[in-house]
């Protein structure tokens, strides 16, 4: 068993040329020991992780067989085992779920639903040589050379299907910290570049700085045996417990707080002293996980706050980028249910890690609703002269398109009340589609079940062709089925053969249910299978975009097992989708990872030999 070097938690990062900075990812610390014929994934506490992460073991074995890996063994690396959501953030709930799962069948399922990645940040042994006494600078250089030689990714990225990725060192603290805050990442690790690897020691050569949030809450009880203070907020008129803390208080503050609790206690038993809501304070925390504060720590007393202000709603407000000026946050966009501009901006911030990958580097068309649902809307493509510098643009056919490539731009567009985000099927880097999308459009919600039937028929065909497919609601009355493609490989002419084939298959099998008729008046009660829309210059509503409907509905990615008769697109609103994202795996988690593995060439070859 190897005991890892541990960082010391500080409120602020040290500065100076002798320090480097790494992103701190929210996952499992994992020491990786690779010898010929043997791979060990070891947790911080010495627990073997191999059985929970067979996908990682398989990937390393495959890499050993096809690369120069063998010449590097024995090899020991210090890593973080994560489920990435962006370059700067990992999904803690997802990695927890994977770590807790013991049934082999479920583990195998989760390797696809929640793909894990090993992020390597230190090198302890290479070719059997112990590097513990070498400086961090030298160890990182050797680690980078190793990843370059093995053709492994040199920075963490969700779109990369490699399960072994390098964690780079940054030297500009402020730039990295700004990015962590924008993406609501866990924090950073500041590391002294001259430091050796001190096995099993907590050291000030590594400084951990967390991207804490703050909640204003109240004391509910004091646990006498271990000295913990329990806190809560009001939610729906009731007290909601948020967990407990003990860190952050000075001895004087702790004594004073216990005295106040005793003076105002409403009851006491052998374990607790209970107190009515009234003692208000601010508590730092990392995130809310299963309705409990993670890593809570006392910040300050709040004598200026009325206890009624300590609410779950106030806690749920998201800190938006300070570089974006927010105007009229209380402006109502929908009346029933009430949705304000602030609610919309909070939603965009929550879904940004999931929405941005689908609109990044694409020519963006937005539909703006300056008066919410109470006035006219209009399309916008051209970037206005008053756009801030962080808004990137791309000129195409004399239009200076806006591109939404960062969180600031997304929030700025939200403040402009751009409610719908429409994007083409390709990025600015290619003339070929990045995906195929089928639009199943019933005449009204009353006939939505026909779209469900069509989607499931498609899924059956795609599975037989070994094409991985994804599905979302359109945000209105239909469904949209996606097939990711390798970037820049297939033309629109090639994909058109396939979309026409699938549409013809549906119509020929169930002519009373499906149609490819363009004119609405000739469709009757049939579901329109729109395969013509998938073409150069055409656009589609982005996943997680709102729609300008009577209800604040969202174009929502679904798991295939949710696609059934009871499905109702109107159930997926700004509020339900935001809640879903906070406690639910993203159904499009594998979207970019599976692109290069899609056997679409084989499908085209089949169509050539079997024309419609």
CA-CA distance, 404 to 412, in Å (whole number)?
Answer: 10
Residues 6+ apart with CB under 8 A from 545: 355, 419, 420, 421, 422, 475, 554, 555
Side-chain-side CA neighbours of 244 within 13 Å: the count stands at 12
Residue 473 has a CB neighbour count (10 Å cut-off) of: 29
Helix/strand/coil for 552:
coil
Measure CA of the first residue to CA of the last residue in the chain; give whole Å. Answer: 62
Where is 260: in which H helix or E strand?
helix 251-263
Residue 317 has a CB neighbour count (10 Å cut-off) of: 13
Pairing type for strands 272-275 and 213-223 reads antiparallel
Q: Which of 257, 268, 273, 262 is nearest to 220 (CA)?
A: 273
Kindly name the residue from 3, 24, 127, 172 that is annotated as catalytic: 24
Active site residue 24: yes
φ, ψ for residue 601, nearest 5 deg: -60, -40
User: 482 has which bridge partners?
Assistant: 437, 470
Residues 6+ apart with CB under 8 A from 436: 425, 482, 483, 485, 495, 498, 499, 534
CA-CA distance, 341 to 177, in Å (whole number)?
Answer: 27
CA-CA distance, 422 to 547, in Å (whole number)?
Answer: 10
- Identify the residue whose tokens are 């105007």: 327
Q: What tokens were used for 603?
A: 């499908």
Could you give the residue numbers annotated as active site?
A: 24
């Amino acid at each position: 068993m190897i005991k890892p070097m541990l960082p010391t938690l500080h409120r602020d990062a040290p500065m100076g040329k002798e320090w480097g900075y790494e992103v701190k990812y929210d996952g499992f610390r994992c020491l990786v020991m690779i010898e010929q014929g043997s791979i060990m994934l070891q947790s911080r506490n010495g627990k073997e992780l191999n059985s929970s992460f067979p996908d990682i073991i398989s990937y390393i074995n495959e890499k050993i067989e096809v690369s120069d890996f063998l010449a590097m063994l024995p090899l020991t690396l210090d890593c973080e085992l994560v489920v990435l959501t962006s370059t700067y953030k990992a999904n803690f709930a997802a990695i927890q779920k994977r770590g807790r799962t013991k049934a082999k069948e479920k583990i195998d399922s989760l390797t696809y639903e929640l793909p894990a990645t090993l992020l390597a940040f230190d090198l302890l042994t290479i070719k059997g040589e112990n590097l513990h006494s070498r400086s961090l600078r030298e160890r990182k250089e050797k680690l980078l050379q190793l990843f370059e030689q093995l053709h492994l990714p040199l920075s963490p990225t969700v779109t990369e299907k490699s399960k072994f990725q390098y964690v780079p060192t940054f030297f500009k603290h402020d730039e990295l910290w700004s990015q962590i805050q924008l993406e609501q990442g866990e924090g950073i690790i500041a590391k002294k570049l001259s430091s050796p690897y001190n096995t099993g020691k907590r050291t000030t050569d590594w400084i951990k700085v967390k991207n804490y949030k703050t909640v204003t809450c109240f004391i509910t009880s004091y646990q006498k045996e271990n000295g913990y203070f329990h806190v809560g907020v009001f939610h729906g008129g009731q007290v909601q417990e948020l967990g407990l803390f003990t860190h952050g208080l000075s001895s004087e503050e702790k004594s004073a707080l216990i005295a106040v609790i005793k003076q105002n206690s409403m009851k006491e038993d052998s374990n607790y002293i209970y107190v009515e809501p009234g003692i208000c304070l601010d508590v730092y925390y990392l995130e809310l996980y299963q309705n409990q504060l993670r890593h809570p720590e006392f910040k300050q007393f709040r004598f200026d706050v009325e206890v009624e202000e300590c609410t779950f709603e106030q806690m749920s407000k998201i800190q938006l980028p300070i570089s974006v000026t927010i105007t009229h946050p209380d402006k109502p966009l929908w009346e029933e249910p009430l949705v304000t501009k602030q609610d919309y901006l909070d939603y965009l911030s929550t879904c940004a890690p999931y929405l941005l990958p689908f609109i990044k580097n694409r020519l963006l068309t937005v539909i703006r609703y300056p008066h919410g649902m109470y006035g006219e809307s209009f399309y916008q493509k051209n970037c206005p002269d008053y756009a801030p510098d962080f808004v990137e643009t791309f000129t195409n056919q004399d239009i200076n398109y806006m591109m939404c490539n960062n969180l600031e731009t997304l929030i700025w567009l939200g403040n402009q009340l751009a409610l719908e985000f429409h994007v083409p099927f390709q990025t600015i880097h290619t003339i070929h589609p990045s995906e195929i999308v089928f639009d199943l459009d019933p005449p009204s919600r009353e006939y939505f079940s026909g779209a469900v039937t069509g989607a499931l028929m498609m899924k059956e065909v795609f599975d037989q062709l070994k094409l991985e497919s994804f599905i979302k609601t359109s945000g209105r009355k239909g469904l949209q089925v996606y097939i990711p493609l390798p970037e820049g490989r297939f033309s629109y002419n090639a994909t058109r053969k396939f979309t026409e084939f699938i549409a013809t298959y549906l119509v020929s099998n169930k002519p009373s249910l499906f149609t490819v008729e363009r004119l609405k008046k000739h469709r009757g009660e049939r579901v329109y299978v729109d395969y013509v829309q998938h073409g150069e210059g055409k656009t589609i509503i982005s996943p997680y975009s709102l729609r300008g409907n009577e209800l604040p509905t969202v174009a929502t990615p679904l798991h295939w097992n949710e696609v059934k008769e009871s499905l109702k697109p109107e159930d997926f609103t700004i509020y339900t989708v935001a809640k879903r994202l906070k406690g639910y795996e993203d159904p499009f988690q594998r979207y970019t990872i599976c692109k290069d593995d899609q056997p679409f060439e084989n499908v085209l070859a089949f169509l050539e030999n079997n024309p419609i």
